[in-house]
Each structure stands twice: as structure tokens, then as C-alpha cells.
Amino acid sequence: MREILLFAGTTEGRRLSECLACAGVRHTVCVATEYGEIVLKAHPMATVHKGRMDRQDIKRFMEDHHFAAVVDATHPYACEVTENIREAASETDIAYYRLKREEGTEPSLGQPVWFENHESCAAALEQTQGNILLTTGSSSLSDYCVSEELKKRLYVRVLPGRESIALCEEQGICGKQILAMQGPFSEELNMAILHQYRISCLVTKESGREGGYGAKLAAAKKAGISVFVIGRPKEEGESFEEICERLSELLGQRIFRERQLEIILAGTGMGSRDNLTREVSDAIREADILLGAERMIKDYSPRYEKKPYYMASQIIPYLQELQKESVSQSLRKAVVLFSGDSGFYSGSGKLFTQLKEAVDAGTLNAAIRILPGISSVAYLAACVGESYQDSAIKSIHGKSGEWQAEILDAVRHHEKTFLLLSGAEDVRKVGRLLSERGLSRCRVTVGYRLSYPEQQIRCLSPEECLHVEEEGLYTCLIRNTGFQRRFLAHGVPDQEFVRDKVPMTKEEVREVSICKMRLREEAVVFDIGSGTGSIAVELARISPKVQVYAIERKKEAVSLIRQNREKFGTLNLTVVEAEAPEGLEGLPVPTHAFLGGSKGRLQEILKYLYGRNPKMRIVINAVTIETILEIHRAMSEFRIQEEEILQLQTSRAKKAGGYSMMQAENPVWICSFTFVPDGEEGSGK
């Protein structure tokens, strides 16, 4: 592929480099200074050449390479450089394109005083009084430093590069008179500078939209000061879109999609502006449109507008409508702000998916990317000198449902658990959970409003957590030095259960029956005829993300299930005192069911379960021949697959004097199958 030579001393030039890189076009970018190289986005398709060149240097550079075309995107005031590039291209017979900066607008901004050149502007400034903000750059500074009296009143805003600062110092401008900053700047920042340095007159070039020309004039008008403008030299050339079309035709591939908007979903970290990453900070500064919660966008000023939108239902219709308007031609970047890290319990993932769906459907013309931020977990870990790669990380921020089982499971099996919380009430809930579940020896490091001036980090006991009152966002680290490693297989010994005289499925039968259920996380399991709850407890212990419902009609058995639930801390186990199938109404849709007892209503129960979920997995235990026959008849009424019937009999050694004799337990049939919806292939019926 042929290469493009790009002279990029402007924002437009940097943007064109990004477009070429995205299109996979190799190109060389020429910049005059070290700072010009720094602000370019690095990309494998872009090679940077740094250093000033005269016409002969440019010609030799073109001759030494095989460029398909040269694009001149230098500053409109750099007339001599433009002429050198044009002549060198002509002499080397390379296609030359001039990228013209967009015209600036100044709606109702008063009447600036216009000058043809810097010399005439400097002469006029001699007749004024007060401080002067010079925003014309360092290259023309010598024109304004001919008078010591004028020089003393100058405040010079230049790029934060060594060369610019050196030029200031050569002219005797130093110290507080140098404002080394990368623009363009918002109206608010311009206003702040005008007030801070008590500026009476602003000097600017007619730098167009990319140069922040409108924001300068708007700030000057609000401040009630004079504006001196160096008129733009008569400039020939083509717009950004036209240049892209020319290059597309030349290279035979699409370089630029008209009106395409770059949408950035950015994590802002802890909330303090000091904690923004460089990428996110740059994205906010360059944003035409800024979206997010009101508290997150209030301190920023995008180039076009900001809206307190953070839901896809708000953002997508807004952007779609905006792209229909003529103003969309000048809008290039929309930034949506999210607190914390964009990939860590953030809404950015869902929004990204929905935005991409709109793009794929052709209803939104945009390129989307995500920028991460610093999460509160990473921040708190750094504050207390802890790692978090070896910890459990959970969140109850904004959760109103059941979360206790998952948190309790994490704390019991990890030395460190990081937890995202909402307000003080969540801290109290966590303290109460730990206190009530025998984990009162844990220590809770509580981070309050991290990164803000009022930040507090305290180490509390669960009891002390009950007295936290300060409202605000919290993150905490729960340390449990007495944590226990998780068992890698289920299997609670029979003697561990509270049993009394209620029948209980024996340990070996439990384990085979549970294996036949083929559980997955997020499963919803009905244990019908739960007895002591031994099956239900073991199911609940497998994962806190499994929801188990123990259905039992006998009061004495219900009492035992509740005792075992408390003993094993299985908070994801719900006890239902009712008879099946009537008592199953109102419960969530099950994915699995275990039937330990049906009281002769097996057919009725299975019919009900099939109606709730015609794809669910069923396991049934039987100890009598009559029950087996009932199971066989019931199974023949449904379409099923993965059918398996096995008989399990175990024997245990019992001491008889000095000998061990095997004593057989009653044989148990374990029947398992999966329902198949009507219309799909399966056995039965």
C-alpha cells in the first residue's frame, strides 16, 4: 500500500492521522517540535518525523520516500511553511492537498478589533492600559516584545513544550507571565484566566473552532474586556471531509465515514478530578458532547453541550436525533462518564452493547470505545497497602434483594473480601451479618468518600460497624484470619445434621442424587418433601448463587430444616411449609427439582413442574417397588431425555467383638431425567 505524507501541526492534522491509522493506511507525520510528537496518538501505521525543515529539506525527504500524496495540515498562519510544502511537492511530482481549518463563528460576541499582522496589533496595544493575555503562540512573540513597557503587561499562553518556553525566556518573558497549557480551552477556563490575571485585553488569531476561537470571544465578552484579532490569511484548500474523499479515491479505500461520531465510555475513578487517568482527562477536554449523571458532568464544559443522561434509553435517541441535524457535521466526540472503573460493576458494559446494536442496525453512525478508570477497590487497597488479586471482590451497591448468602460465603472462604457498598446503612447491615453469623472476630476496614477531601479510612469490628452514621459512598475490606478453604466436593456427614426422628436421605445416596442433578450456577432448585433438609442444605452449600426452596408439609420436619439452615449458614435456602404442588405457587420458576417424597401425588407434582418449566431437570428417590412403578407410569406421560435409573445399596462396617461385619442399608432407586418441551424430540408419550 502506498504511503501518505502528512504535515500535522494542528488538531485537524492529528485527527486525520487517527483516521488514516484506523483505515490501516501507512503514513508519516511531520511535526516541528517535541511537543508536537507528544500529543500525537501512537499507532503502528504512523511514523513520526520530528524537526523543522526548509523547502530543500522537505524536497529531499519526499525524494527519499515513495509517498502517494502529501497533505498540508499546518496552521493557517504558517504561510511560509505551506508555501515550502507546496513547492517541494510540485518539484517532486507528488499530489498536494491543503487541509483547510474550519471557519470560526462569533454569534453576538461584540465587535473585536481586527489587524492584518502582529506588528500593527502590537502598535495598537501600546496605546492601551492594563494586563494583556496573548494567545497567538510563541513564534510571533518577538513582535510584542519590542517595548519593555508593553512586555511587562504581557501574560503569554503557549504550548507546554521546551521550545515554546525557551522562546519566551529569550524575549525576557518568564515566571508567572508564562502560561504553558495545551488548548483549546473552554469558555469557563478562559474566564478563570482572565479574572486570575486581571486581563484588560485579549489578543488572539482567528483560529477557528479547533483553536477555541469562539470560547475566547465568549469569555472576553462576559468579562467585558477588549479583543484584538489577527485576521486569518486568505487560505485556499479543502475541508476535512473533502480531503478524506480525495485520499479515498487515490488509495481505493474508504478513509472516512461521513458524520461518524466517536463515542467514549469513560470511567472517572473515585470522583476527584485528581484521579482521572490521562486518557480520560484528555477525552473530557476534547469532548463536543458530555453525558453522565448531573454530579459527574457539572464541573466540565464541552465544546457543544452537556446533558445529564446516563441510561441507554436517554443517550441513544438523543445521539440519533442529533445526527439528523446540520450541527452534527462539526460534532466529533461524545463522552459518557461513569463513576469508578468502566469494567467494574459499571453500567458502561450494558450501554456499550446497546450502542453497538444501534450502530450495527444502521440507526447510529459511530465508533465506540471504553476507557477504564481507577476503581474504589484498587484505591482502598493502595491506601492500606494490600493486594487484591488474592481476594474475593463483591458488591451490594444499589442491591435491594438477597445478597447475604453470597457475601457470607465469600468471607468464610477468603482471608480478604473487598466489598462495594452504598451508604451507611449498608455498613451497618454488613456488621450485623458478621455479628449474627459467628464472624465477630473479623476486622472491617471502611473507606468513606475515597479520594475526596473528607476521606476517612477506619478499621472497625463488626459491632462497631453497627454505629456508622456518616452518609456517603463506602468501600470496605473484610479481613477474616480464621477463614476456611472451600471443600472441593460436597458431602456433609450424616451426624452433622440435626435429625431427631425425621427420616433422612443417607450421605452416599445424597451425593449420588445431587450429582445426577447436574447443577449450574444461578440454578433454582425445589426440594419437595425435604424432611430434615439434608439435600436442600447440601445443594445450598455448593454455591451461594444457587437458590434452594425446601418444601415440607410436616411442622416437626420444617423446624428441623430451619435448625439445619441456621447451623450451616445457608442463607440461600428458603423453607416453605406447604404441601406440593399447591405450595409451589408464587415461587420462582425452577430449573431443577428433587423429589424425596410425594405422598402419592407424584403424577400431579410432575405435571405442575412441567407446566412451570418444560426443560427442567428432575431427580426422584424411591425405596419401595410401588413407588418405582408410580415413577415409571408418571415418566411415560412426558417427553423426556437423559433418562437414567439406578439402584444404589451401601453397606457399613459394624463392630462385632473383635470383628467388623458389613451391615447393609436399604436399597434406593435414583431416577433422573430432563423434560423435553412438546414439539421437540425425546422419549416418552
> 102: pLDDT confidence band, cut at 50, 70 and 90?
low
**Residue labelled with grid coordinates 464544559:** 301
Contact 109, 217 (CB under 8 A): yes
Q: According to the per-residue pLDDT averaged within each range, which of 124-128, 460-464, 493-497 is highest?
A: 460-464
Q: What is the pLDDT of residues 501-551, one digit of tens each?
A: 777 888 899 999 999 999 998 899 999 999 999 999 999 999 998 999 999
Give the per-residue pLDDT at 107.
Answer: 37
User: How many CA atoms does the CB half-sphere of 252 hold within 13 Å?
Assistant: 3
CB count in 10 Å sphere of residue 265: 27
Beta pairing class for 131-134 and 199-205: parallel
The DSSP element (H or E) to which 20 belongs, if any, is helix 11-22
What is the C-alpha to C-alpha distance for residues 330 and 239, in angstroms, rounded to an integer?
11
**For range 395-408, the mean pLDDT:** 86
For domain 113-230, give the CATH superfamily.
HUPs (3.40.50.620)
Lowest mean pLDDT among 195-199, 266-270, 668-672: 266-270
The predicted structure's pLDDT at residue 184:
73
Gap between the Cα atoms of 493 and 446, Å rounded: 38
Q: What kind of architecture, by CATH, is found in domain 3-101+238-245?
A: 3-Layer(aba) Sandwich (3.40)
Q: So what's the pLDDT on residue 106?
A: 41
| Angstrom distance (rounded) from CA 356 to CA 280 | 21
- Could you tell me the fold of the domain covering 494-675? Rossmann fold (3.40.50)
pLDDT one-digit tens code per residue, 427-448: 999 999 999 999 999 999 999 9
Q: What is the mean pLDDT of the chain?
A: 88
State what percent of residues in the chain have pLDDT above 70: 94
Q: Quick one: pLDDT band at residue 684, thresholds 50, 70, 90? A: low
The contacts of residue 277 (CB under 8 Å, 6+ apart) are 269, 371, 372, 373, 374
CA pair distance 286, 568, nearest whole angstrom:
56
Q: What is the pLDDT of residues 51-85, one digit of tens each?
A: 889 999 999 999 888 899 999 988 776 788 899 99
C-alpha cell of residue 283: 477525552
Helices (H), 348-486: 348-360, 376-384, 404-413, 424-436, 462-465
Band the pLDDT of 105: cuts 50, 70, 90. Answer: very low
Beta pairing partners, 157: 179
Cross-strand bridge partners of residue 643: none
- Confidence at residue 330, expressed as pLDDT on a 0 to 100 scale: 64
Identical fold, 113-230 and 390-479: no
Supply the pLDDT for residue 612: 95
Cis bond before residue 581 (omega within 30° of 0): yes
Distances (CA, A) of 1 to 24, 25, 89, 237: 9, 7, 20, 26
φ, ψ at 19 (rounded to 5°) = -65, -45
Res. 139: pLDDT tops 60: yes
Per-residue confidence (pLDDT) for residue 109, from 0 to 100: 41
C-alpha grid cell for residue 419? 466489598
Reference 575, options 513, 505, 527; nearest CA is 527
Residue 1 confidence class, pLDDT cut points 50, 70, 90 = low
Give residue-wise pLDDT tens across range 280-332.
988 998 898 999 999 889 888 888 889 999 999 999 999 998 887 755 656 78
Selection from 199-203, 275-279, 503-507, 567-571 with the highest mean pLDDT: 199-203
pLDDT at position 264 over 80: yes
Q: What is the pLDDT of residue 610?
A: 94
C-alpha distance from residue 89 to each of 26, 31, 118, 236, 385 (Å): 19, 17, 29, 16, 59
CATH architecture of 390-479: 2-Layer Sandwich (3.30)
> What pLDDT was estimated at residue 416?
96
**How would residue 104 be classed by pLDDT, with cut points 50, 70 and 90?**
very low
Does 417 score more than 90 pLDDT? Answer: yes
Q: What is the pLDDT of residues 198-235, one digit of tens each?
A: 999 999 988 776 678 888 888 898 899 999 998 876 66
Cis peptide, bond prior to residue 112, ω within 30 of zero: no
Residue 365 is classified by DSSP as: -
| Residue 274 Cα distances to 22, 38, 286, 345, 452, angstroms | 31, 21, 18, 22, 10
- Provide the pLDDT for residue 286: 86
Cβ-count burial of 417 within 10 angstroms (0-12 exposed, 13-18 middle, 19+ buried)?
buried
* Mean pLDDT to the nearest integer, 155-172: 91
CATH topology of domain 257-371: Cobalt-precorrin-4 Transmethylase; domain 1 (3.40.1010)
Residue with cell 469558555: 187
pLDDT of amino acid 254: 78
| 3 state SS for 105-158 | CCCCCCCCEEECCHHHHHHHHCCCCCEEEECCCCCCHHHHCCCHHHHHCEEEEE
- The C-alpha cell at 102 is 474550519
Taking Cα atoms as reference points, which of 70, 323, 37, 77 lies closest to residue 205? 77
Give the pLDDT of residue 328. Answer: 61
* Cβ 452 vs Cβ 271: under 8 Å: yes
Q: What is the pLDDT of residue 227?
A: 93
The DSSP bridge partners found for residue 50 are 31
Say yes or no to pLDDT of 663 above 50: yes
* Average pLDDT over every residue of 595-605: 86
β pairing state of 333-338 and 289-291: parallel
The residue ranges of every structural domain in the chain are 3-101+238-245, 113-230, 257-371, 390-479, 494-675
pLDDT recorded at residue 655: 87
Q: What's residue 238's pLDDT?
A: 87
Distance CA 46, CA 36 (A): 14
Cα 55 from Cα 572, distance rounded (Å)? 77
Judge residue 364's burial from the number of C-beta atoms within 10 Å of its C-beta, 0-12 exposed, 13-18 middle, 19 or more buried.
Answer: buried
**Which pLDDT belongs to residue 635?**
82
d(CA 225, CA 572): 68
What share of the chain in percent tops pLDDT 90? 52
Q: Convert 69-103 to b/e letters by CB count within 10 Å (16 or more is b).
A: bbbbbbbbbbeebbebbbebbeebebebbbbbbee
